[in-house]
Structure 1
Amino acid sequence: MISKAIYERIRNGVCAVGHLTTPLTVYRENLDKPIFQVVGTGFLIEENLVLTNRHIVKDLIESTSSGEVPPSQLFIQFVVPHEGSHLELVPRMIREVSYVDDPKLDLGFIKYKTVTEAHFASILPLDIADQWESSVSEEVAVCGYPYGTSILIRGIYLRWGPVVQQGHISAVSPFDTTTMPDELLLDVRRAGGMSGAPIFKPGTGTVIGVHYSGIEGTIAFGVPITRAIVNHAMLQYDRNRVVLNEG
């Protein structure tokens, strides 16, 4: 069971990663229109810094280098519902990205710039586990954007914001009693767009992994993380840093 407070904290800290399908000037005039193409998920880990997957970051880089998407249309978007029917969309242009070289760690970073502090009053970094204490059969939850933009619109709007799924750790690699696993297998339905979603403990909201792949509609795979793993990964930030939009 995920409490309302934990759910809201997780939801607010999770963002869609993708690009605008129109120039920024057009998007600003049509914030209620589905012209944001979701390609993955990310979540805030510190001020102006989002954690996602390396393959999502590389897809963003490729989309701009190929000329498919102008860099100025690469965005992340937070969704913060309020009481009643009020909904606040918080889109931010992606300024720069980086990624981890280690093939076992499908982790990437996205930086953005905060323009209006008030917009981020309820968007806070998620807590990452200090050490690995989870095990097989433990309950977990994943919060992301399965099926990307399709979950937001299908002729009419279905919903705004990420989707939460709950399940269990079905297995860990290389074996059940390992001190720090290389990989997590979850009995959570996997779909495109979920890559980069946080895997967290339902009772506390503590993030223990990052979803990166799986078998469509069935199981999901995740990279287990602790604060030390993320801090070590960030040491590679400058080496693999790619500036997409100055400022």
Structure 2
Amino acid sequence: MLADERTRELMRRAARTLRDVPRVREALNRTGVDALVEAHFPPTWRIPTALVGKADRASLRQELRALLETGARVLERLEEQGEDAPVEPTEQTALEAVVAFFGRPALRVRNGSFGTPPVGWEVLENHREGIEAAIDSTGRIELAGVGMLGTGFLVAEDVVMTNRHVATVFGREKSGGWSLKLGVVPRIDWLGEHERDVQAVLSIQDILAIHPVHDLALLRVGHASGQAPRPPLRLAAKAPETADSRAVYTVGYPMKDHTSTPPEVLLRYFENVFGVKRLQPGELLSIDPAHKELAHDCSTLGGSSGSPVVDLETNTVLGLHFGGNREQNLAVALWQLADDPILTRAGVRFGEPAAR
């Protein structure tokens, strides 16, 4: 039986995103599967409230183990028969689980580091210094009494870039510009890591600008004694040479989104841990010069709004992530705004990163 077009597309995506199918399949041996299950559901993991009475830790561990073992068999079929290999519906879920672990992971950040890269993403190790600099200068935007709103990153000494739809939650339009709403207390936490109570918080003191066309805002942040200065990220001054299979990554704080993402997908990708800093590698999919946008396939959720989309090779920020769907994510193509007066007035930096 020949595969239908949906199955072919799934197999094509697996072949592209897994980067090294034979090595991923080899990594899914018994020992490898045991290690992944243990890492995903450690002894400290607590069952989500929504699943209490419906499942327990042991059954979830077994379900994940079965998915990974089935996924390994599908990968073997992909190697032997290519994208026309038949895949049953239950096997499609298993293949998606494998892609979640190895193809488009959402790596938790701890102590400013992303840990050991998964199979297929060993290239991250070659760029660790630049990636961890981007991690250091990206923070979680919060509002007292409300909680997390999104992500932002430093683009000048005291200027943070985020999305317009994040900033308007605490901003109000006034004659000639924007200001903070009365009584609101927005801030940015440069840490926000899982199982780490330490904070590195700066107050958001003003809204410098909200772009009238693009989903982009610039915020003025204060200073805090005892905090070492963070280096602003450099924005790409020109388009990448090609969008074909170009590795990128985002740093952000994906939040739980029940409206558009199935609960089983949330559990599989994010271990039911949300709103903490993550590194999410992926690829640049396309560039739309007319709309000054780019598409990428990093694993993002709602709290990723305002994340930098960084070119792995040059470590310059290509885009400002603002949304997407299961097929692709969208970002403002920042190099096309290099001459935009809103950014130049704020001292936003374009070009190669400064030496550290």
Q: Give the structure-2-normalised TM-score.
A: 0.50
2:141 is aligned to 17
Partner of 1:169: 284
> Which residue in the other structure is 1:53 paired with?
163
Q: 1:144 aligns with which of 252, 257, 269?
A: 252
Does structure 2 conserve the Cα–Cα contact (< 8 Å) formed by 1:183 and 1:221?
Answer: yes
- Report what 1:154 is aligned to: none
Q: 1:189 to 1:47 in 2, by over 3 A?
A: same
User: Percent sequence identity over matched residues?
Assistant: 20
Is residue 187 from structure 1 mapped to residue 302 from structure 2 by the alignment? no
The whole-number CA distance in structure 2 between the counterparts of 1:93 and 1:196 is 17
State how far apart, in whole Å, the 2-side matches of 1:86 and 1:162 are. Answer: 11
Is 1:92 matched up with 2:202? yes
Q: Equivalent residues in 2 for 1:31-70 (5 A)?
A: 37-61=147-171, 65=181, 70=183
Q: 1:235 to 1:126 in 2, by over 3 A?
A: closer
Deviations 1:41-65 (A, max 9, x none): 1100111110111111112226x74
Corresponding residue for 1:127? 234
Deviation at 1:228, TM superposition (A): 5.5
Q: What 5-or-longer segments of structure 2 have no aligned partner? A: 1-122, 173-179, 259-265, 267-271, 347-356
Q: Which residue of 2 aligns with 1:219?
A: 328
CA distance in 1, matches of 2:293, 2:141: 23
CA RMSD of aligned residues (A): 3.2
Rg (Cα) greater in structure: 2
Q: Distance in 1 between matches of 2:200 and 2:306?
A: 19
Provide the C-alpha distance between the structure 1 equivalents of 2:339 and 2:216, rounded to a whole number of angstroms: 9
User: 1:190/1:219 Cα in 2 relative to 1: closer, same or farther (>3 Å)?
Assistant: farther
Structure 1 counterpart SS, 2:140: strand
Q: Secondary structure at the match of 2:191?
A: strand
Secondary structure of the 2:239 match is: coil
Q: CA deviation at 1:218?
A: 4.4
Q: Distance in 1 between matches of 2:298 and 2:223?
A: 33
1:109 equivalenced with 2:218 (yes/no): yes
> 1:175-234, CA deviations, whole angstroms, 9 ceiling, x for partnerless residues?
8xxxxx61111122331011110000113321111001111x442100011286275223
The answer to which structure has the higher strand fraction is 1
Tell me the secondary structure at the aligned position of residue 7 of structure 1.
helix
Describe how 1:76-91 pairs up with structure 2 within 5 A. 76-79=188-191, 88-91=198-201
Task: Report deviation, 1:20.
Answer: 2.3
- Normalized per residue, the structure richer in helix is 2
TM-score norm. by structure 1 comes to: 0.70
The 1-side partners of 2:317 and 2:167 are apart by: 20
Aligned partner of residue 119 in structure 1, secondary structure:
coil
Task: State how many pairs are aligned.
Answer: 202
In 1: Cα distance, 2:303 partner to 2:275 partner: 14
Question: Does structure 1 retain, via aligned residues, the 8 Å contact 2:141–2:148?
Answer: yes
What letter matches 1:208 in structure 2? Answer: L
Distance 2:277 2:336 in 1: 24
**Unaligned segments of structure 1, at least 5 residues:** 22-35, 152-156, 176-180, 238-247
Distance in 2 separating the partners of 1:114 and 1:222: 29
1:101 and 1:129, CA in 2 relative to 1: closer, same or farther beyond 3 A?
closer
Cα distance in 1, alignment partners of residues 157 and 253 from structure 2: 22
- Structure number with the bigger relative contact order (C-alpha 8 A, sep ≥ 6) is 1
On the 8 A contact 1:79/1:87 being kept in 2, the answer is: no
